[in-house]
Structure 1
């Protein structure tokens, strides 16, 4: 960040005064720390959004950078809300309680409790349902927006398959998945779909007989993990292009090596 502490302290002092409704700029150590984190968070938002301007030397003062960043944070929170409202129109939880609770109960709590002014760095939620792609380096509205963007993409992917086929697959992987499945729902679908591709079966049916399972297992046996990951990555990329069409983003191949390790360690097709 291109701002020194002596530039940040006056901004934090004004924020502290606002926090105490103008009565004082004196706050507890913990509150001061959170407010300074808020200032830094918003200024970084401004710097990220205006990187080209910053490189040209058109640097604004700390207070201006903070206020611009604050408005960017508000906009990202609104973007997240728009993604969420779009996603839940036809949301399907496939009977998975952790998925349902995170999306339908947890996310609304973010919009109710998020404090863009005094604690924008706090994304409020633990996000117990894991999406396939989410950076640990982002926080606040950025994290929720990224999370919902990925969750919506995965939901669209899953809805290309028959609901009963997905549920039957989940029950095959874990009979008590409804209450005790805490992994990503796309993972068994990706593994099974890859098996269908290897066994020359209909991908959308997510059905694989004993012969197909043996062929899929043999495809990944007696090779090193890197080769297995590359093989699976190619299959997942073809699958993603086929299923997602123009919405294709090329993200499923990023988890190929982890899934290949699961397969080579005995994960069921």
Structure 2
């Protein structure tokens, strides 16, 4: 094994580069493994990347994966080659969360695989939700890159549904509000949670806004009918609330309103004693 004190790293790199240019992958790998101190290899990103590339070219992808895992265990810097080796290895093990993490380090070069992985993460999340494994599903979602969760409506919906099933309504509302604040595209389920929250606080306008959006987005006719009925009921309740508020306002102005001397008639106030309106003037009723 050549001593680093006798030969500089640049000479190692030149020797390795010449072999790679001639596609002498086996010779190059042997040289890296037997002629260079492995401490030097691990601390030289070019040499280590070349070692992984040689393993790939020799169809030893799992060996490359194990080498990359050992390299990463010491928190050494990630290169594109290392991330590809780790991403492919975790993908082979169906660990889509870890695979996504490493491929995402260089997103411009991995857009296709990232899209595929996001779909796989969505499938895994839905499967756990359908199996009613709510805690497991929530733990799984929390391990996913949060950019994926916030950009994937289906995954985010699963998160909210798990929180609701686990009696964590307040947290679900906060999550939905944060999601909306970040510019996320709300699903009908998110809209329902926010609508319900605003309705419970008496914020009629915001509740209606979210329920209307939920009605537009909901997938079934039955759901649309339910939202329509809910909105109609809310509208009637709001009208009653406004009437009560008006009554209180008038009572503060004229206390006689509380004694029944004034009654409401079609949103106008008329005297209920022995007087009637006639020709635009109040006159005593003739006996």
TM-score > 0.5 by shorter chain: no
Highest RCO, 1 vs 2 (Cα 8 Å, sep ≥ 6)? 1
Work out which of the two has the higher radius of gyration on C-alpha atoms and give 1 or 2.
2
- TM-score, normalization by structure 2: 0.24
